[in-house]
Each structure stands twice: as structure tokens, then as C-alpha cells.
Amino acid sequence: MPVAPPDPEAAPSDAPEGTPQRLQQARAVLKTVFGYDAFRGLQAEVVEAVLAGRDAIVLMPTGGGKSICYQLPALVRPGAGLVVSPLIALMQDQVDALRQLGVRAAFLNSSLEAAEADAIERDALEGRLDLLYLAPERLLTARFLALADRLELALVAIDEAHCVSQWGHDFRPEYLGLGLLAERYPDVPRIALTATADAATRREMREKLRLQGAREFVASFDRPNLRYVVVDKADARTQLLRLLRDEHPGEAGIVYCLSRKSVDQTALFLQRQGLAAVPYHAGLDAATRRTHQQRFLREEGLVVVATIAFGMGIDKPDVRFVVHLDVPRSLEGYYQETGRAGRDGAPATAFMTYGLADVVAMRRLLAAGGASDDVKRIEQGKLDALLAYCETAGCRREALLGYFGERYEGPCGNCDTCLTPVATWDGTLAAQQALSAVARTGQRFGAGHVIDVLRGKRTPRVEALGHERLPTFGVGEALDERRWRSVLRQLVVAGMLVPDAEGYGVLRLGPGAAAVLRGEREVHLRRDPERRREPRRAARGRGPSQPELEPSARARFEALRAWRAQRAREQGVPAYVIFHDASLREMAERCPRTSADLAEVAGVGATKLERYGEDVLGVLNAPPNPLASRARR
């Protein structure tokens, strides 16, 4: 949408573009276009810097309002904003949402016919676009750069900028070429944004994108509405089912698995349990993947079971849970993936099942990989940090934020270890027994056989090998199999045991084993909580609360959701681009009677008020339907 330029008499002609008048204009646009009364967090500082023509590096958590940091300046500064976005689905959703606001937005990608792309390029050249989204490989073509040379550019935004890092979890080599923008458009402000970057990745973003002079804005990485839970893995699918039925019935979420086979089996398991679930992985044909992603965006309460290929381009605000049935590859990946939950600020769950087999598999894959020693060292550090997070007996939020260099003093009151505190115990003797059993059996067996020896089980294999005659046979009968698996898992994490690089689950003594066996080092272990003691939804701690709506407001909220779903189907867009749940909830609670009252609801800008105001007021002021009320009861 065209935005009126600032009054030339309001500031001297040589004033920088980021004058107070320009920021005041941005605040007005924030209200009239986006429907918000005030900036959040660091948004105002970022917007002011970009309005003044300065480069910026912005780190904000998912759901923290990064898009406002470039969308708003693009509407206020003269010209069009170019937005580099990594995935087609992400562009489509963001453009749909902007058009709902009355913003002149478009995207260029391979999903368009040639005639459609030509029309968008003409619109850009003739000044009919405020924001143009495109992938890095499209931006770097000679054809598009020639077009961009003829445009008046308000700014260039590089979203998901961590993709430039070859140590990152979403490395995209195409991002490496974006540094040329500094040379080609030296007077155009550039803003690089991401939700996930440790200090090394941030340095690489600055170097590769040639943003050496950029001001860095780092918001808190904390997502207080997310409840972090890591449980001892035992029949992970049953644990998943319990979570969905007990805590998230009928809600949308994402379940991550490492293998395609596990994705398919888990989706089928949920379907057989009567839940709406679909798989998503690279082994499915493109049409099926596209259909499943579109269903997730447009339907209420669908569960997507996926490999990490899914979710990077998802902008769905009401994802209520993200589950990892297998350990992710790094804390950066974990943070990025869990960040897809609760983008609307309402309570959501980040749930992971974690066991000895996961630790062994991850250690073995790292050791057997063909990467250089330098890369392996970096990856080893990332894996160590992830496993330490899983094993911590302290506040998980404190451990997670500490990895990103943010000091947080727990307890947070909204993670499993805070809600159900974890005890530690002196496991020195148990560690010596386990390490001795591994050594005396020849360092040729996996956890199952070692535990059988420790517990004194005369299995056919134990007797065939004569291991019932070993001094360690039966010395650990005081601990059950689950406790021994916990001990072995923690010894692997600590490096006292290492998985054999050839596979087969074989455990060998690691560098730290000798000192323990000689009695020179004490070992303190985490005591895993008893199973089925995961904190329930009613005890979500001090995260933002989401009180239940009173009955009449609940009826209005459901009526608004039904109306929104119908309008979304008519327009072929996700329901949340009409209005977020948070806006519908506020409408239901406040029950505005006039357009002026409705305009005070967060997320109701001028265009949405004009387009949907009469409908919304009609729904809110309609007499209650007694049949519907009885059906709800």
C-alpha cells in the first residue's frame, strides 16, 4: 500500500532518513496497517536504525516480531523492499498475510508461470510494489540483478540469515553469494535476521554477508511460553500418544523423527489411534509433500510427522507442540525446531524422548563421518552441548539460553526439571562396575549384554561366552535394567564409554574411564524421574497464562473461528492470515459493538477493519444458538 512521504517542512532537507518524524510515521503505520499500538522489545530500535539507512543484524526468537523490523521500514522508506527468503511456502504465506493488510506484496519463485513473473517484474519497475520476496538463487541471477539496478530500493532484508553458516543446521550455499549486495547497492540498508545463531554463526553472518559495519540487535532468546520437557525414552510412540491425548487434544503440532521409515510408521500409528496425522519427508513425491503442508497450514488440529526437512518455511502461529522422538543434531537445530511452537505467545510444549540408543547412534555417526578433523571438532562440541542439555538436573531454560551466551538465573518454573526437580546420586561404584564389565567382556558388546552380565542374568549368550564366571557377573543386581541404561547413557555422554565407529552398538572404554576405575575420580549421576511423572498442562509454571474463556466468550470465540475458516476457504489462504487466534480471543472477550471499538483490538488494522469489520460485528452480536450451545455441552 502506498505510504505518504513525510512532510518536507517537518524536517530539514539534509536530515537523516531516521529522524524522529520518520519514526513517528512508522508508529502510525504500525497501527493503521498492522493494527498494533506499540512496538515490542527491540523492534523500535531496529526500525529506527533501518529508517536512518543503517545496516542491521537482528537476532530475535521465533514469534518475537522479526518481520515488522523490515516490513515496516519498507512501507515508510521510498521504494520497494527486497526480501530474501529460503522457501517457497514461507514466501507464499507472508505475501498472503501482507495482502490481507492491504500491503502491495508479491513473490518471485519457480511456482509462477512466466507471464505471472513478467507481470510482477513490471509492477516492481512501475512502483506498484512495497515488498518483493524471492529466493537467494533468484536474486543472484543476471536477469534479476539487471532489474534490481533499475528499481528504487527501500532496503534488502535477508531472512533466516543463519543459512549462510556452513556450521549451521540449515546451511544454504546460495546465501554465500549475497555479499555482493554490499558492492552493488552500497546506499541501500541491509538487514539480516535470524532466530538462531551462536557467536560463531553471527561472526560468519557478518563476514559472509559483508555486514562488518552493521549494528547488532540481540533480543533475549527466551521463549517463556514454551514448556521444555525431556523424558527417558520408553516406547516413544506411546509417550507421544499420551502427550497428545492428555495435554493437546485436537491441537496442531509437529513431530520430528530422524528417519523416513520412522516418520511413516509414527504417522500410521497416530492415524490408527484416531488422530489426524500426515507424514512429510523427502521420500514422498512433491505433490504429496505440498498437499500435506497445505493441509497443516489450513486445517485445525492436524499433526505432521516429519524429518527436519519440514517446518523451516512454516509461519503457522498456533502450533501447540513440537515433539522430538529422536535426539536432534544440535542445540541450534533444537531451538529452531521447537521455536515453531507457540509463535502466537500462548502456552506450547517442546517435548523430547531421549535414551541410550540415541546417544550411541549420535556418537557413532559423528565418529564414522568423513568430515575433516576441524569440522568433527566443531560438531563434537555441538553434540556435547546438546547431550549436556538433555542430562542436566538443573533448569533446562538456563542451560539452553546459556548455550547462546545469555545469562538466565533459574528456576524458570516452566520446564520438567523445575516442575519435577531431578535428584543426583553418587554413581561412582555403579560407574566402576559398568566400566569393569565392559573391559572384562572384551569391549566387544553393546549395552544389552553388558547389563545382563551386571545383573547376573544367565542368558544363552552369557553362558555360551562363559561370562557368568566373570568377577563382574551379578555385581549390579541392585539396579534394574532401566537404571543401568541410564548409567551407561550418562557414561557415554561423559566420554567414559564410546561407541565403536563400526556400529553394531558396541561400547568401548573412553579416555575418562581409567581414572574412575582407579578410584581417582568420583562420578555423580542424574537420577531419571519415574515414568509417567511428566508435568501436566495444569502446572505450566510461570509462563504466560492462557485462562479459559468464560462460557459466553467461548461461544463467541468458536463462532468467530467458524466464520474465519469459511472466509479462509473462500480465499484459499490459511485461516491465521485472516486473524490470529489471539485477535479472535480478544474480540470474544471484549465483544466490541462498533467499528471504533473493534479497531482497538490488536491485529485489526484499517484494511482488515474495512474488509471484515461488518462480518465480525455481525458474528459477535448475533443471538446465541441454543442448539449449538446444547451440542457443546
Q: Can you list the positions of beta strands (E) in 357-442?
A: 424-426
pLDDT at 1: 53
Rounded-to-integer distance, Cα 604 and Cα 582, Å: 11
Q: Which of 75, 37, 101, 2 is nearest to 577 (CA)?
A: 101
Q: Looking at residue 403, what is its pLDDT?
A: 84
**Is the model's pLDDT at 468 over the cut of 60?**
yes
Q: How far is CA 481 from the centre of its chain?
A: 35
Q: What is the DSSP letter of 482?
A: H
Provide the pLDDT confidence category of residue 517 given band limits of 50, 70 and 90.
very high
Give the integer Cα–Cα distance in Å for 522 and 326.
30
Mean residue pLDDT of the chain comes to 87
How many residues are recorded in the chain?
Answer: 633
What mean pLDDT do residues 492-518 have? 84
Site of grid cell 452480536 = 621
Neighbours of 155 (CB within 10 A): 25
**How confident is the model over 439-461, as a mean pLDDT?**
94
The model scores a pTM over 0.75: yes
pLDDT-derived band at 56 (thresholds 50, 70, 90) equals very high
* Element at 590 (helix H, strand E): helix 581-590
Chain centre distance of CA 491:
30
For residue range 472-481, list pLDDT tens digits in order.
Answer: 999 999 999 9
Q: Is the peptide bond before 411 cis (omega within 30 degrees of 0)?
A: yes
- Which residue is associated with the grid cell 516442575? 419
Backbone φ and ψ for 253, nearest 5 degrees, come out as -165, 175
- Whether the pLDDT of residue 192 is over 60: the answer is yes
pLDDT at 313 over 70: no
Mean pLDDT, residues 35-62 taken together: 93
- What is the per-residue DSSP string for 132-182? EEE-HHHHTSHHHHHHHTTS-EEEEEETTGGGG-TTSTT--GGGGGGGHHH
User: Residue 145 corresponds to which cell in the numbers above?
Assistant: 540483478
Specify the amino acid at residue 544. P
**Inter-residue contact 60 to 223 (CB < 8 Å):** no
Q: Are 246 and 539 in contact (CB under 8 A)?
A: no
Confidence class of residue 312 from pLDDT cuts 50, 70 and 90? low
Inter-CA distances, 117 with 1, 114, 134, 140, 571, Å: 20, 5, 11, 16, 21
Contact in structure between 70 and 81 (CB atoms under 8 Å): yes
- Confidence band of 540 (pLDDT split at 50, 70, 90): very low
32 Cβ contact list (under 8 Å, min separation 6): 605, 606
pLDDT of residue 167: 59
Instruction: Note the pLDDT of residue 21.
Output: 81
Concatenating the DSSP letter of every residue in 178-199 gives GGHHHHH-TTS-EEEEES---H
How many CA atoms are closer than 13 Å to the CA of 217, on its beta-carbon side?
25
pLDDT at position 531, please? 59
Q: For residues 296 and 477, what is the distance between their CA atoms, to the nearest angstrom?
A: 49
* C-alpha–C-alpha distance, residues 605 and 100, integer Å: 10
Predicted local confidence at residue 542, as pLDDT: 37
pLDDT digits (tens, 9 = 90+) for 125-183: 999 999 999 989 899 999 999 999 999 999 999 998 888 886 555 677 888 889 999 99
DSSP label at residue 83: E
| pLDDT recorded at residue 273 | 96
Residue bearing the bigger pLDDT, 240 or 546? 240
Q: Which of 128-142, 360-374, 542-556 has the lowest mean pLDDT?
A: 542-556
Residue 161, C-alpha cell as written in the block = 540469515
407: left (phi over 0), alpha (psi -120 to 50) or beta: beta
Q: What are phi and psi of 56, to 5 degrees?
A: -150, 145
Q: Which amino acid is located at 425 in the chain?
A: W
Q: Answer with the residue of higher pLDDT: 426 or 624.
A: 426
Mean pLDDT, rounded, for 48-57: 95
Name which residue leads in pLDDT, 104 or 4.
104
CB 40, CB 113: distance < 8 Å: no
CATH numbers and ranges of domains, the chain: 20-218 (3.40.50.300), 226-419 (3.40.50.300), 424-526 (1.10.10.10), 551-624 (1.10.150.80)
Residue 63 burial (10 A CB sphere; 0-12, 13-18, 19+) = buried
Percent of the chain with pLDDT over 90: 59
Higher pLDDT, 584 or 628: 584
